[in-house]
Amino acid sequence: MRKLTALFMASDVFMDSSGLYALADEHDPFNAVATMRVQALAQARTKLILTDYIIDESVTLAVARSGTPAALRLLNLVDDSAAFDMHWITPARFAAAKTFFRKHSDHHYSFTDCTSFVLMRELGLRDALTIDRHFGEAGFRPLLAQG
């Protein structure tokens, strides 16, 4: 556990929807590793940064995969934990995400991913709790990625 704690102490970590969903759904294949990583982050007093867009995407994913009760559990997880630090996609961030989306249209990023990348660059974040390979393509380190 010390190695993981040291790994994350450099800065806060971005919480992507795939990581948040994995954390909230005990049947998700990444639940165990997401839980272990979040525990290590909590020990290191690392904040988990997320956005209103990530909450939206995660709740929508939970409803689609497991129903409204799962979505409510996910919301409660975020609301009940002091580990999460919420950031809003402001009009300026939205405009920057549009620019990023247009500039990198060959990568097939989702618009939510683009808002995440803009925020991560703004905050100087390197790591994301995600399985999404697009974070690696954009120059970040996906902490739950396979392989």
pLDDT tens digits for range 31-78: 999 999 999 998 899 999 999 999 999 999 999 999 999 999 999 999
Q: Structural domain boundaries of the chain?
A: 2-88+126-142
Fold classification of 2-88+126-142 (topology level):
Rossmann fold (3.40.50)
In angstroms, the CA 104 to CA 86 distance is 26
Would strands 48-51 and 84-87 be described as parallel, antiparallel, or unpaired?
Answer: parallel
pLDDT tens digits for range 101-111: 999 999 999 99
